[in-house]
Structure 1
Amino acid sequence: MKMNFGKIASPIASRLLVIAGFVFFSIAFVCAFVHSLTVFDSFSSASGAFLAAVIALLAVSALAMNRRVGKKAFIIIVPGVALALRLIWALLVDTPPSSDFLFMHNAALAAAKGDFSFASSDYYTSWAYQLGFTMYEALIVKLFGTPIIFLKVINVLWSTGTVALVYWTAGKAFNEFCGRAAAIAYAFYIPNIVMCSVLTNQHVSMFFFMLGCALLVHRGLTGKYSWLLIGLSFAIGHIMRPIGGVYIAALLVFVTVFRAFPWSLKRSGPLLAKTAGIVVVFYLLQATVSQSFIQTGVTAYPLANREPYWKFVVGLNTESGGVWNAADGKHMRQFKLGEERNREERRVVIERLSNVDALPSLFARKFVSFWGGPDSSAFWSMEKLNMPKQTERVNKLERAVYAAMCFFGAIGLLALVRDRQYEWHRLFLILLFGYAAIHLFIEIQGRYRLDMIPILVLLQSYGVYAAYSRITLWLSPRADRDQGVPM
């Protein structure tokens, strides 16, 4: 989509944003590759796996652009293969619920029978926002029965739907090649497949967050009711998994800096009004669902975090590197949930933030671990099933493909420094940076990175396209080389 950015965006901010994206992906690539040395036998095997992943992403994306594979055929073939892979995994790998997923599943089984006593447990009084996903699971159990496979199969459908949304979004944001490259990367990215046997709320939330992004890219904010649908999509995603605030904040920054600037009531007024409408719908739906749970006696608390400082307590722990640790948990359980515990958690957070000498090192370690470290999907899916060989293979595949995607992400952002005909990657970058910035301060887990994989594959798809274009140019006759490529 070609646009006159001199009228709608700050060129300096745009250029700095893209350069920051290049730095982000470059660092993530180096960290991911270095870490892959811990799961491969040697540097040569790690390098070989990485190069194989790079070639595979390029080759499969190029093959998908065959003139015989039209849009309709592609949207059937790739999501169809994605569905088959996910379904096979979910049926063959009998992952039992554990940790938070076990709490929510047991609660869902009780809720399906009309028993809501679980809502008074410490888990739900602390983190009442988990009721959204719990009641969703209860609805599935009510409709289809108690066998856990029904929940897993529906996970498969949500994940497959996200593949289609990634294709739809990248194709409109960039071009058809990018749409297909992004869909292929998301369809075959191993953690997306492996996690389908895990009862995580991420499958549902990623679908709705991606739906909101797809509606934004396709309909913008000019459609009559697009703002309503976007707000509803982000709100449902947030009710399933409470990270929707990051999407709302990213949208506000994108609109005010890159779409409404320079501001004028006549030109920017309608745009800002519809953006405000998205925000209103986002919070109104949450409030409505929250009040419905309270009024029906499911819970006495709104769907919010009643221990809002806990994630910061853990995330700012320099000894644990920002990951969950028993010491912080044991200390905080001494205090009564509510203002007494919040007061102590605030004290600890302020104390840790005041240690300014230790913060840069902590932030650096957390960034390297979160964006370059291992994915935990194999752990969640197979840790209790005694499948060491399969776990090792999954970890190796994930390391190679993730490093390749970060590599293409860096190439894509480097290409976009010069190519200014696109717009929507700025929203995706703001979203990625916002999510990364928050996790410098709060708890990190390997599976939390999965929430941003749809955004990451959107951005790396342009790198696949840029690399393919350059290779095609090199192989073309000299007379054709003056046409140029986006690098």
Structure 2
Amino acid sequence: MSIFYSTFHIAEEPVLSVLVLLCALVAVILAGYLLIKLKDDRKTNRIVLITLLALFFLVGLFWLKFTPNEQLSDFATFWGKSQDALQGRAIYKNDNDYFAKWAYQTGYLVYVMGVIKLFGAHVLVLQVLNVVYQTLTLLVIYKLAMKVFDNVKIARLSVLLLMIDLDWFAMSPQNNNSYLGTLLFLVTFYLLMHDKYWQYMLAGLTLAMGNIIRPIGPVAIAGIIVFALVYKFYDKKINLHNILKLATTFIIYLAIFSAVGMAIKSSGLNEYGISNRDSEWKFVTGLDYNTKGIYDQNVVDSIDMTQSRKKVSKQEYKVIHEEIKYLNDNNKWIPLFWDKLAIMWANRSSAIDFANMQQNHSQKVIGFVNLISYLGTVLLVIFGWVGSLRLFKISYNKNIFLLLLPFMAYVAVQLLIEVQGRYRIEFTPIWAIISGVGLYSLCNWINLKWGKKPKCLN
């Protein structure tokens, strides 16, 4: 219910929010209906896909023009430290600085350094690359939907729902690692849906690069392993070929990931490679009932961050034990999880805040953009509910679980660690596919009632 509460109160006039939501629902259903009425042949499918991708790319470039270039928060750190590193300056001063305790972020820092080395210190280059990665993500979502459902209309609608979700693509002005990382993980899933050894080898490369760029690889790996155990390794008898193919993926993943870590160490850029030396911090914030698991400066100030990593780690463990005791003693685990689920998956994300529009637009414009942005999330949730229910009735390839299991692992992990609404963008593309099923079902139902009878999902 929190998603509807947020929708009704995000604008100054709740009634206006309701009217805009209803208009958006009608407009998207109408657009979806037109898309499913188009012919299903090779030429038409190619024209439709290219049109959707080109339209999104142009809107993405307009968004860059509409928002300022200033980098904020972690993204400002990436931008500043990458130039420091290129000029031979250290990226941290002590073992409790940003890149010392979260050395795994050095992977993306190297990417930013490479872009600057090739094109100069122009943040616009990184921004345009983000739009390119988003456009390619739409293409991969189309391919994934086709692979799972073998239905071009669901694929079209999945692309439509993702491309209109401003909450998803709003952070392209920031040199953030989510878009490239997400693209690489989705390509990994697509490759693993095939059967050739070279595809599994390439999946090891994309999985490693995805985790180096955006270090959420463990949840993807967890989902892949569970999928393999249930659907790949065992099919009436143990399938040794599938075991060998997946082993090849993980061997290549480990080899590349380790090699990059050692290369960063030996280069002198970061003596800690791409390790995580402060995994405790995410739990310090994530288990704080008072802040509902969100980053809070008061929590930061409660710990003396000027001390060494070893001493700070002890403080963090102490805070974690205190928070767990409080949650146990007061039976607050379920309320905490409920609030975190709402923040992560239902409430307005902070994507528009990171677009920094207050610098060059009025509060009225910002309020309207916030409303439009959040409506994309609301539509995904509404159609996602319908799509989730339809999955019990329709036929689909078992490869859908290669998408859903990492998604479920990510949801579970977020219950324990720090949450921010903007973190949902990594798995929004997968949710868009489920929402595409929901929108297709509604459009199909409309066609059954008032149009010519279409070919239904089995």
Give TM-score, length-normalised by structure 2. 0.92
Whether the aligned pair in 1 keeps the contact of 2:91 and 2:269 (CA below 8 Å) is no
Structure 1 runs of 4+ aligned residues shifted over 6 Å read: none
Q: What is the match of residue 101 of structure 1?
A: 75
After superposition, give the CA deviation of every residue in 1:204-242 in whole Å (9 maximum; x if it has no partner): 11111121122233x2xx212111111211211111111
Between the aligned partners of 1:143 and 1:192, the Cα distance in structure 2 is 28
Give the one of 318, 334, 340 matched to 2:311.
Answer: 340
Aligned with 2:60 (options 86, 89, 93): 86
Return the offset for 1:258: 3.1
Name the stretch that deviates more: 244-253 or 468-477: 468-477
Matched with 1:204 is 180
Residue 104 of structure 2 corresponds to residue 133 of structure 1: no
Change (3 A) 1:232 1:365: same
For residues 52 and 428 of structure 1, what CA distance do their matches in structure 2 show?
A: 31
Task: Write the deviation string for residues 405-433 of structure 1: whole angstroms up to 9, x where unpaired.
Answer: 11111111111112244323323222222
Matched, 1:215 2:191: yes
Query: Per-residue deviation at 1:194?
Result: 2.3
> Residue in 2 aligned with 1:146?
121
Instruction: State the secondary structure of the residue aligned to 1:195.
Output: coil
Determine the structure 1 residue equivalent to 2:433: 458
SS of match in other structure, 1:417: coil
- When the two chains are superposed, the root-mean-square deviation of aligned CA atoms in Å is 2.1
Letter in 2 for 1:196: S
Structure-1 residue corresponding to 2:352 = 378
CA distance in 2, matches of 1:120, 1:334: 13
Question: Is the contact made by 2:167 and 2:376 (CA closer than 8 Å) also made in structure 1?
Answer: no
Report the counterpart of residue 76 of structure 1 in structure 2. Answer: 50
SS at match of 1:313: helix
Q: How does 1:242-321 map to 2 (within 5 A)?
A: 242-261=215-234, 264-265=237-238, 268-321=239-292
Matching of residue 239 in structure 1 with residue 212 in structure 2: yes
Larger CA deviation: 280-289 vs 345-354:
345-354
Partner of 1:397: 372
Of 390, 399, 418, the residue aligned with 1:415 is 390
* 1:383 to partner: Cα distance: 4.7
Q: Which residue of 2 aligns with 1:21?
A: none
Structure 1 residues 143-182: aligned runs within 5 Å: 143-174=118-149, 175-182=151-158
Q: 1:485 and 1:211, CA in 2 relative to 1: closer, same or farther beyond 3 A?
A: closer
Shift of 1:193: 3.6
Which sits farther off after the overlay, 282-291 or 190-199? Answer: 190-199
1:342-367 CA distance string (max 9 Å, x none): 23322322332233212111111111
For structure 1, the 5+ residue unaligned runs are: 1-29
Q: Distance in 1 between matches of 2:26 and 2:192?
A: 32
Shift of the 72–409 alpha-carbon distance from structure 1 to 2, 3 Å rule, reads same
| Displacement of 1:58 | 2.5
* TM-superposed deviation, 1:441: 0.6
The alignment status of 1:38 with 2:9, answered yes or no, reads yes
Distance 1:460 1:183, change over 3 A: same
- Where does residue 300 of structure 2 map in the other structure? 329
Deviations 1:420-478 (A, max 9, x none): 4432332322222211111111001121111111111011111111112222112246x
Cα displacement string for residues 317-342 of structure 1 (whole angstroms, at most 9, x for unaligned residues): 01111111223212332573433322
Tell me the secondary structure at the aligned position of residue 279 of structure 2: coil
Q: Is the 8 A contact 1:208 1:234 kept in 2?
A: yes
- Stretch deviating more after TM superposition (84-93 or 326-335): 326-335
- Stretches of structure 2 that go unaligned for 5 or more consecutive residues are none
Deviations 1:174-223 (A, max 9, x none): 11111111111222211334212122111211111121122233x2xx21
Distance of 2:89 and 2:236 partners within structure 1: 50
Contact 1:112 1:139 in 2 (8 A): no
- Distance in 2 of aligned mates of 1:244 and 1:81: 31
Separation in 1, partners of 2:397, 2:5: 32
1:332 match: secondary structure? coil
TM-score, scaled to structure 1: 0.87
Q: Pick one of 164, 183, 187 that aligns with 1:188.
A: 164
Contact 1:159 1:192 in 2 (8 A): no
Please say if 1:432 is aligned against 2:407.
Answer: yes
Amino acid across the alignment from 2:259: T
SS at match of 2:427: helix
In structure 2, distance between residues paired with 1:214 and 1:232: 13
For 1:243 and 1:279, the matched residues in 2 are separated by 15
| Number of aligned positions between the proteins | 448
Partner of 1:6: none
Alpha carbons of structure 1 residues 31 and 278: separation in structure 2 relative to 1, 3 Å: farther
Determine if contact 1:95/1:385 at 8 Å carries over to the other structure: no
